[in-house]
């Protein structure tokens, strides 16, 4: 089915000027970038976004990192976009990511892992709505 997923190009990617290189991988995979903006996340936005992880030991570090530099938030559209983007990103830990994936090519560590993608349809809708108004998404 035609789906939309939510993506973040993380601070380690913006710092190293890698957003275009990552977008090239996204587009080569057949995903269309139907919304995109560069923002500096507030602590509140990061805490809300990662609320599901609030009791994890890495939560504080995750919020620090995600607010440490600009990010690029995106909506990606395509056939099976949610699963496809997870494939294109590769495993959360770059040590386990397959060749050619964003995280294998660019990620520095499990925390500084260059990209986020939604894990399911419900979270995709929720994550998109946190960062984009309907009229900012142009398919």
82 binds ligand CMP (CB under 6 A): no
What's the CA gap between 114 and 106, in Å, rounded? 7
For residue 129, give every residue at least 6 positions away whose Cβ sits within 8 Å of its Cβ, in sequence order, or none: none
Q: How many residues bind ligand CMP (CB under 6 A)?
A: 9
Residue among 4, 10, 86, 116 flagged as catalytic = 116
Question: Which residue in the set 92, 104, 123, 137 belongs to the binding site for ligand CMP (CB under 6 A)?
Answer: 92
The helix/strand/coil state of 108 is: coil
Question: Is 116 known to be catalytic?
Answer: yes
Could you give the CA distance from residue 104 to residue 102 in angstroms, rounded to a whole number?
6
Integer Cα distance of 101 and 26 in angstroms: 10
Residues 43-62, one symbol each (x = binds ligand CMP by CB under 6 A, - = not), give: ----------x----x--xx
Q: Which residues are catalytic?
A: 116
Q: Contact positions toward ligand CMP, by CB under 6 A? A: 53, 58, 61-62, 92, 110-111, 113, 116
């Amino acid at each position: 089915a035609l789906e939309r997923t939510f993506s973040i190009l993380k601070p380690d990617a913006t710092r190293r000027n890698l957003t275009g290189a990552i977008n090239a991988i996204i587009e080569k995979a057949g995903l269309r970038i139907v919304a995109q903006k560069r923002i500096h996340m507030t602590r509140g936005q990061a805490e809300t976004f990662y609320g599901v992880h609030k009791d994890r030991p890495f939560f504080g570090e995750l919020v620090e990192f995600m607010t440490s530099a600009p990010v690029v938030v995106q909506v990606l559209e395509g056939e099976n976009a949610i699963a496809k983007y997870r494939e294109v990103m590769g495993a959360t830990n770059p040590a386990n990511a397959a060749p050619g994936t964003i995280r294998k090519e660019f990620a520095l560590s499990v925390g500084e892992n260059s990209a986020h993608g939604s894990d399911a349809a419900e979270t995709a809708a929720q994550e998109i709505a946190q960062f984009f108004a309907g009229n900012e998404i142009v398919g």
